[in-house]
Amino acid sequence: MFEAQYAWRFSSTDFGDDVKEISEKMNLNPLVVQLLTSEGFKSADQIKHFLSPDVTDLNDPFLMHDMQKAVERIQKAIVHGQQIVVYGDYDADGITSTTLIYEALEQLGAKVKYYIPDRFKDGYGPNKSVYKQLIKDGTELILTVDNGVSGFDAVQYANTHNVDVIITDHHELPQKLPEAYAIVHPRYPGQNYPFGQLAGVGVAFKLACALLDELPSEMLDLVAIGTVADLVPLVAENRALVTFGLNMLQNTQRPGLEALFKVAGLTQSMINEENIGFAIAPRLNSLGRLKTASLGVKLLTTLDNKIAQEIAQEVQQLNQKRQRLVEMTTIEALDILEKQDKHLVNVVCKRDWHEGILGIVASHLVQKTGRPSIVLSASAKEAKGSGRSVEKFQMFKALDNHKELMQNFGGHHMACGLTISLDKLDEFQNALDQEAQKQDLDKVEKPSLQIAAELSFNDIDEKLINDLKLLAPYGNGNSKPIFAFTDYKIYEAKLIGKKRDHLKLSIGQKDKKIDALAFSVGEKGKAIVSDSTPLKFVGQLSQNVWNGRVKPQILISDFAYHGQAFSLIDKRTKKLQKTMFTNNGTYVFFNEKLYHQLQDYLPVSARTLIGENCAMDKFETTNLILVDCPPSLSLLAALLEKVSVTKITMIFYPYQSAYLEGMPTRHDFAKVYRFVMSHQKIDIKKKLPQLATYLKLKKDLLIFMLQVFFEVGFVKMDNGLMTGYITDQVIDLKEAPTYHSRQQLIEAESVLLTSRTEELKRWVLQHMTVEN
Residue 329 resides in a domain: no
Residue 357 resides in a domain: yes
| 271 and 395 part of one domain | no
Half-sphere exposure in the Cβ direction for 291 (13 Å, CA)? 17
| 472 and 346 part of one domain | no
- Which of 368, 366, 373 lies closest to 432 in space, CA to CA? 373
**Dist. CA 142–CA 151, nearest whole Å:** 12
| 434 and 471 part of one domain | no
| 130 and 266 part of one domain | yes
What is the block-wise mean pLDDT of the chain (772 residues), using blocks of 10 residues?
Answer: 81 77 91 89 91 95 97 98 97 97 98 94 91 98 96 96 97 92 96 94 98 96 97 95 97 95 92 95 94 96 97 96 94 93 94 92 92 94 92 91 90 86 95 93 79 89 92 92 88 86 86 89 77 78 82 92 71 91 92 93 92 83 92 91 87 85 88 88 87 90 90 87 82 88 91 86 74 40
- 653 within 8 A of 693, measured Cβ to Cβ: no
H or E element at residue 374: strand 373-378
**Domains identified in the chain, total number:** 5
Amino acid identity, residue 623?
N
Non-local CB neighbours of 752 within 8 Å, separated by 6+ positions: 572, 629, 630, 633, 636, 650, 652, 760, 763
HEC per residue, 108-173:
CCCEEEEECCCCCCCCCCCCHHHHHHHHHCCCCEEEEECCCCCCHHHHHHHHHCCCEEEEECCCCC
Domain of 201 in residue numbering reads as 58-317
- Residue 475's CATH number: 2.40.50.140
Residue 720 resides in a domain: yes
Half-sphere exposure in the Cβ direction for 223 (13 Å, CA)? 30
| 305 and 190 part of one domain | yes
Alpha-helical (H) ranges within 606-733 are 633-642, 666-677, 684-695, 699-712
601, 623, 656 — which closes off a domain? 656
Residue 36 resides in a domain: no
| 504 and 624 part of one domain | no
How would you class 534 by CB atoms within 10 Å of its CB: exposed for 0-12, middle for 13-18, buried for 19 or more?
Answer: buried
Q: Is 520 helix (H, G, I), strand (E, B) or coil?
A: coil
Residue 566: per-residue pLDDT: 62
| 103 and 138 part of one domain | yes
Non-local CB neighbours of 64 within 8 Å, separated by 6+ positions: 184, 185, 186, 188, 191, 193, 203, 206
Residue 712: per-residue pLDDT: 87
DSSP code, position 279:
I
| 94 and 183 part of one domain | yes
Residue 544: per-residue pLDDT: 85
Residue 717: per-residue pLDDT: 87
- Which of 193, 750, 621 lies closest to 185 in space, CA to CA? 193
| 255 and 272 part of one domain | yes
Residue 291: per-residue pLDDT: 92
494, 528, 560 — which closes off a domain? 560
| 185 and 247 part of one domain | yes
Residue 46 resides in a domain: no
Residue 223 resides in a domain: yes
410, 443, 476 — which closes off a domain? 443
H or E element at residue 487: none
Residue 771: per-residue pLDDT: 41
Residue 7: per-residue pLDDT: 86
- Residue 399's CATH number: 3.10.310.30
| 181 and 302 part of one domain | yes
| 308 and 255 part of one domain | yes
Provide Rg for the chain, Cα atoms: 36
Residue 48 resides in a domain: no
Residue 416 resides in a domain: yes
**Contacts by residues 596-602 (CB-CB < 8 Å, ≥ 24 positions apart):** 598/627
